[in-house]
Structure 1
Amino acid sequence: MAHDLLFRLFPLLALAAPLQSNRLGPTSRLRYSRFLDPSNVIFLRWDFDLEAEIISFELQVRTAGWVGLGVTNRYTNVGSDLVVGGVLPNGNVYFSDQHLVNGDTLKEDGSQDAELLGLTEDAVYTTMRFSRPFRSCDPHDLDIMSDTVRVLAAYGLDDTPKLDRERTFVKSIFLLQVVHPDDLDVPEDTIIHDLEITDFLIPEDDTTYACTFLPLPIVSEKHHIYKFEPKLVYHSETMVHHILVYACGNASVLPTGISDCYGADPAFSLCSQVIVGWAVGGTSYQFPDDVGVSIGTPLDPQWIRLEIHYSNFNNLPGVYDSSGIRVYYTSQLRKYDMGVLQLGFFTFPIHFIPPGAESFLSYGLCRTEKFEEMNGAPVPDIQVYGYLLHTHLAGRALQAVQYRNGTQLRTICKDDSYDFNLQETRDLPSRVEIKPGDELLVECHYQTLDRDFMTFGGPSTINEMCLIFLFYYPRNNISSCMGYPDIIYVAHELGEEASDSMEGIMAMNNVEWTPESIKKAEKACKEAQQTVIIKTIDEAVENTTGWIPDIIPTPRGPCLESSGGKVEPQDKTPALSSSSRATLRHLPLAARTLSWLLAMPQTGV
């Protein structure tokens, strides 16, 4: 994983600020920080060296006892990787790389892969600073990846390391963020504009999609929106699931007021080109310094549709909300006008996920050969720089894969540890070029072991979605490109009668779902012909068809050896020793690049 990450990050070296080249020492400034518990007792700082494949942590806890930091998985803390340390009453320091053998008992790893950089205790805090490889060869050490990482933090009131549920916390974090906000420019003439619904009475229904149409800032000349953030009102529980801002074509006739986005009045579902979006767990996002949302020219949208998805699962009455999106814009123009392309499985009930599924894969295909015809003008190559992943509660992983001339080119983005509660816009390590004629495939991985009912695609949080939003430049008029399988074919493969799509959907409720029938349904959905729906900002729609190509998995890269470490059987490439890594780091950049290229398995690039 670390080797693959380094390879994919290399093009960024030529585009952005240089990567760190020195190991982070005991006094180096760590750029990232986060509280890990609701009471703000546990504070984490971290930073990383992408060339050395090393991450450094500093954990500060309000305790005089032991502290621990590590990585865990979604389902259980047993087997979690935890680095433990503290200061004894006599001033002696203890520190070791351990793992959980059961719910509360820790055992020291045979291979000690964490390096202590500092451990102090004062009247208030115990502070532990250490570094570790992204991926060691110790099977007890979980990988640090560019996916969502579930960080485990724990502490005790004395110096006996033993987990207590009240002092153990897990928080999902993107540890390997490519761009730090402090590295981006903030224009001096910044203007703030709020797009919001004011004093909206949230219905007592489980799910509400509230939509209204608002003007973008009125400016006499071209400006760029360069940053956005959610504007949320605190309630006793989280009710705002997501907020999307859709650009409206200037020929659109728009309704007034606030109404159900997808209800009786179809006018409230007009405008489908997303320009910015926020979902649960997200924070602010600033575009790269050369990219912005253009406003103020005759070709730019003048109005937007603001969509707020409320989830009032406890049916609370009398709750008013004034949430929305705050945008920051400037007259200091960027080089490129950005757009957003929505990919995935077209959201309606043909998307189904059986109950009791340990694993179920869904696919949405995009074929770009009609983009130029629908755009009404030549479409320049699309340069993708960021993305936002979105499923609901059953989602476990997503990826977008690119094909050219029938050959898999690359995985554009993926997260094998997706967390519904952490949906943020992320930067790609290097910009990805999509050419006319390329195919784009979104794969979503679901698990429904906790459900005894069918899950269908739809707007509610208990329904499902399979969407990836690609942030790109230069902007064109294509708003979405999504696919869905021939449900009649799927029904027939499952032994059910169906003569139209509605019967095909209803037939899914008649299937006896077993592990065998679940896999049969997954196979049928993948083999069925896909209908691909392409939509423009002006609501023009064009359909085409295609077939789901296979996805070639990306091989894992080498792990990093340390004392007592051992190469895992599934590793296809040898471990990198500390001496070989040091040699690699001291080669000229071009030579290091060549080394990575030669070591990296190729998949049609």
Structure 2
Amino acid sequence: MLRLGMLAAFLMSVGVVWGQMPDRTPNTRYPYVTDMDHEGAYVLRWGLNATHIWFEVQVKTLGYVGFGISRDGRMVPADVIIGWVAGNQVHFQDYHTERYEAPTVDSSQDWLVDYGYEEAGWTVLGFTRALDTCDTLGDFKITRDTQRLIYAYHTEDPDVTSPNPLIRHTVRGRKSVSLMTTSHPPAELPIDSSVIDFTNDNFSIPVANTSTYNCRLFDLSDVNVKYHIIKMSPVFSPGMEQYVDHMVLYRCRIADPASLLVNGASFNCFSDAPDHVQFCREHVASFGHRNKEDFYLPEDVGIPIGGTGESNLYVLATHYVNELQTPNLVDSSGIQLTYTADLRTNDAAFLSMGNIISPNWLQYIPPGEPSFQQRAYCSERCIQWGMNSTQNALPMTVVGAKFHSHDLATEMKLRHVTKTSSGAYVENPWLAYDGAFDSDQQAFRVAEKRRNVSFTDHLMLECTYDSSTRGFPTLGGWHPDNELCRAYVLYYPRKMLEGCMSWSNYDQLRNQIGQPVNGSDVFNTLLATDWSNNNVMRVNLKHALQNSIENAQCWSSRQDPSYAVDWFQQTDITIQTPYQPTETRTCV
């Protein structure tokens, strides 16, 4: 039973009212902002340093407010706070949940309230917590992994005179957020900043298909001045967020786009795409999976747009998912770029990495696997090709990466391998990592420390999947029921290399009785396998993925030829010293 003394353990006088509600303006204390819900009724702002994180929640209610961190997005188990404002006093307390009933008061009160007030129907609470409290009873450590945040609120304050004062919430929800790797907005954008929109034009989403890929073209041949892209933003038509699975903006340079296409032309990205558009694959920006946050490039880098010899053809590719085949859906969503003529120090670009998606190049995940790994490579020879094979090429400095996968993915890792002068392979610290990946939160992850990739290095993207609850195999593909292993790596200075993909030959795959499987029979062998209690084929498949020949393709729309093909034996790249992060705990 909760007693009044416990519930009102922390009281403080109401502070100064700050301004109009809600306030989503970033500032020095709260540089990061996100809406926890689709309605904009629960706004979260936060900031952090090396040891602490401070939050502000703005909630459209005059009742109590809950906020917390969960292991998997459910309300139990979770590390939570509950607070409200009543009678010019802020009531605030640290709890944890162990079961689906009233939360338990923490014996160690590690969440500390800074202020609270009510204004115009909104409740505002500011509070602080150590990143690592070292409180093992109910607290979760805040890390660079994606965090599952939960929230709740009620229309009324608790009745502190009641033996059970906490009324069940009227609203609750969850959102995955990268609290420590989000891009940092500048204090202000350059005064000459302008925007350009790449959006669909009242596209009618077909009813006959649950999955549709629409591409729209944009001709920027008339942009003869070089600018820098400094910010990227998603643009959603009202109510269409649930139907837009993801949007990607690609670009390339072609001799005379006006003679080959009509500016604004729209078509199916796969079945109807002209040849020159199919190879227009330099990644510029991407959003999706209900991610509505802007991406700000660091203040020393910008992505070139416009100018002599620059890409002139831009392609907006939008993947719509209409599972219920709802009719009369019309969409004009897309991507907005903010650019400036005040050029930054470094020309940056994205390198696309991952497994190639094709019916002939199979990505295959068996059912019933709690931790199934697949890898994709950007080989040493591909990197050298992208650097024009020059010994004096400047290394690529990696700023961060955005991972792209679907619901089975649980862990994403961008590994960096260096060949020493003796020919040995040593693994460096990971360039990007998310040990709690959530496909609903595919935001750019700023690197903790920028690292250089040289022309003798290998990059390896490692994706881990949990198919333990799925009763059928999962193939590679863009549909949400399929899987992906992709990363978009932001780096500088810009190279010719735009993409680097790979796929397994499966030449080391053996069947149930240990016989080698011919290349032409791999697909049918895997599809015909009964995976229930079949440990032999599970072992055989994992062995093949780790030991077979890996084929690689690298490309650039600015080189001639525009692509190169590589292959190598994975066992030739044996990492003698794998990287192992050391966990340091700073308890505050």
Pairing 1:393–2:389 present: no
- Which of 278, 289, 292 is equivalent to 2:302? 292
Q: What residue in structure 1 maps to residue 204 of structure 2?
A: 201
Question: How far 1:311 sits from its partner (Å)?
Answer: 1.4
Cα contact 2:413–2:433 (8 A) shared by 1: yes
Larger mean Cα displacement after TM superposition, 120-129 or 389-398 = 120-129
Instruction: State the Cα deviation string for residues 299-342 of structure 1 (Å, max 9, x = none).
Output: 31121222221212222233232232222222222222211111
- Amino acid across the alignment from 1:477: M
Which residue type is aligned with residue 582 of structure 2? Answer: P
Structure having greater relative contact order (Cα 8 Å, sep ≥ 6): 1
Indicate yes or no: 2:402 matched with 1:383. Answer: no
- The letter for the 1-side match of 2:522 is G
The residue identity in structure 2 corresponding to 1:173 is: V
User: 1:8 maps to what in 2?
Assistant: none
Matching residue of 2:476:
457
2:217 to 213, 221, 229: 213
Hey, what does 2:581 align to over in structure 1?
554
Deviation for aligned residue 1:126: 4.7
Task: Provide the residue aligned with 2:544 in structure 1.
Answer: 524
Tell me, yes or no, if the aligned pair for 2:203 and 2:330 is still in contact at 8 Å. yes
2:177 paired with 1:173 = yes
CA contact (8 A) 1:84 1:161 kept: no
* Contact 1:63-1:124 at 8 Å conserved across structures: yes
Tell me the secondary structure at the aligned position of residue 527 of structure 2: helix
Structure-2 change in CA distance of 1:161 and 1:146 (3 Å) = farther
1:310 counterpart letter in structure 2: Y
Q: Does 1:141 align with 2:139?
A: yes
Q: Higher mean Cα deviation, 515-524 or 320-329?
A: 515-524
The 2-side partners of 1:226 and 1:381 are apart by 22
1:371 aligned residue: 383
Contact 2:85 2:116 in 1 (8 A): yes
2:151 paired residue number:
153
Pairing partner for 2:236 from 232, 248, 251 = 232
Structure 1 residues 527-575: Cα deviation after superposition (integer angstroms, max 9, x where no partner): 3332222222253232221426565442322141xxxxxxxxxxxxxxx
Distance 2:281 2:382 in 1: 18
What is the deviation of 1:511?
Answer: 1.9
Offset at residue 237 of structure 1 (A): 5.9
8 Å CA contact 1:532–1:546 kept in 2: the answer is: no
Question: TM-score, with normalisation over the residues of structure 2?
Answer: 0.82
Q: Structure 1's 386 and 161: CA in aligned 2 closer, same or farther, altered over 3 A?
A: farther
Superposed displacement of residue 178, structure 1: 5.5
C-alpha contact 2:509 2:516 (8 A) present in aligned 1 = no
Q: Which runs of 5+ in 1 are unaligned?
A: 1-26, 561-577, 579-605
The question of whether the paired residues in 2 share the 8 Å contact of 1:357 and 1:449 is answered with yes
Matches of 2:61 and 2:203, distance apart in 1:
44
- Against the structure 1 CA distance between its residues 295 and 75, is the aligned structure 2 distance closer, same or farther, given a 3 Å change threshold? closer
Q: Which residue of 1 aligns with 2:6?
A: none
Matches within 5 A, 1:282-431: 282-349=292-359, 350-376=362-388, 378=390, 379-405=393-419, 406-431=425-450
How far apart are the structure 2 equivalents of 1:122 and 1:323?
34
Q: Mark the CA change 1:126 to 1:262 in structure 2 (over 3 Å): closer, same or farther.
A: closer
Displacement of 1:425: 2.4
How far is the alpha carbon of 1:292 from its aligned partner?
Answer: 1.9
State the 1:46 CA deviation. 2.1
Paired residue secondary structure (1:369): helix
Distance 1:452 1:331 in 2: 54
1:100 CA displacement = 0.7
Is 2:93 the partner of 1:96?
Answer: yes
User: Would the alpha carbon gap of residues 168 and 338 (structure 1) be closer, same or farther in structure 2, given more than 3 Å must change?
Assistant: same
Q: Distance in 1 between matches of 2:287 and 2:119?
A: 41
Residues 1:270 and 2:279 are matched in the alignment = yes
By how many angstroms is 1:522 displaced?
Answer: 3.2
Deviations 1:482-521 (A, max 9, x none): 22223242354785763224x2122112222246354653
SS of the residue corresponding to residue 381 of structure 2 reads: coil
What is the CA–CA distance in structure 1 between the aligned matches of 2:80 and 2:448, rounded to whole Å? 28
| 1:499 aligned to which of 504, 515, 518 | 518
**Could you say which structure has the higher helix fraction?**
1
Q: What is aligned with 1:535? A: 555
Contact kept, 8 Å, 1:225 with 1:294, in 2: the verdict is yes
- Which amino acid counterpart does residue 397 of structure 1 have in structure 2? E
CA distance in 2, matches of 1:148, 1:290: 26
Tell me what 1:511 maps to: 529
Relative distance call for 1:315 and 1:92 in structure 2 (3 A) is closer
How many matched pairs? 530
Contact conserved, 2:507 with 2:544, CA < 8 A, in 1?
no
Give the Cα–Cα distance (whole angstroms) in 2 for the partners of residues 88 and 284 of structure 1. 36
Distance 1:112 1:494 in 2: 60
Q: Does the 8 A contact of 2:417 with 2:427 survive in 1?
A: yes
Q: What code does the residue aligned with 1:409 have? A: N
Deviation of 1:353 (Å): 1.0
In structure 2, the partner of 1:593 is: none
Q: Kindly tell me: are residues 544 and 251 of structure 1, through their superposed partners in 2, closer, same or farther at Cα, counting changes over 3 Å?
A: farther
Within 2, Cα distance between the matches of 1:494 and 1:475? Answer: 50
- 1:33 aligned partner: 33
The Cα offsets for residues 98-142 of structure 1, whole Å up to 9 and x where unpaired, read as: 211112331223433223334556895554432211112112211
d(CA) in 1 for partners of 2:169 and 2:527?
Answer: 41
Q: Which one is further off, 291-300 or 352-361? A: 291-300
Greater mean alpha carbon deviation, residues 129-138 or residues 192-201: 192-201
Q: Normalising by the residue count of structure 1, what TM-score does the alignment of the two structures yield?
A: 0.80
Change (3 A) 1:286 1:94: closer
Greater shift, 435-444 or 445-454, is seen at 445-454
Amino acid at match of 1:247: R
Which stretch shows the higher mean deviation, 40-49 or 491-500? 491-500
CA contact (8 A) 1:292 1:338 kept: yes
Aligned to 2:47: 47
Q: Residues 442 and 162 from structure 1, CA distance in 2 versus in 1: closer, same or farther, beyond 3 angstroms?
A: farther
Aligned counterparts of 1:544 and 1:128: Cα–Cα separation in 2 = 56
| 1:182-241 superposed Cα distances (whole Å, 9 cap, x missing partner) | 33x522223322223323222221222222332126233322222222232224562222
CA distance in 2, matches of 1:233, 1:195: 13
Distance 2:462 2:369 in 1: 16
Q: Secondary structure at the match of 1:513?
A: coil
CA contact (8 A) 1:104 1:164 kept: no
Q: Is the 8 A contact 2:200 2:331 kept in 1?
A: yes
Instruction: For 2:495 and 2:119, locate their aligned partners in 1 and report how far apart those are by CA, in whole Å.
Output: 58
Distance in structure 2 (CA, Å) of the matches to 1:374 and 1:417:
32
Summarize the Cα distance change of 1:153–1:476 in structure 2 as closer, same or farther, 3 Å threshold. same
Seq. identity, %? 26
Unaligned runs of 5+ in 2: 1-26, 159-163, 420-424
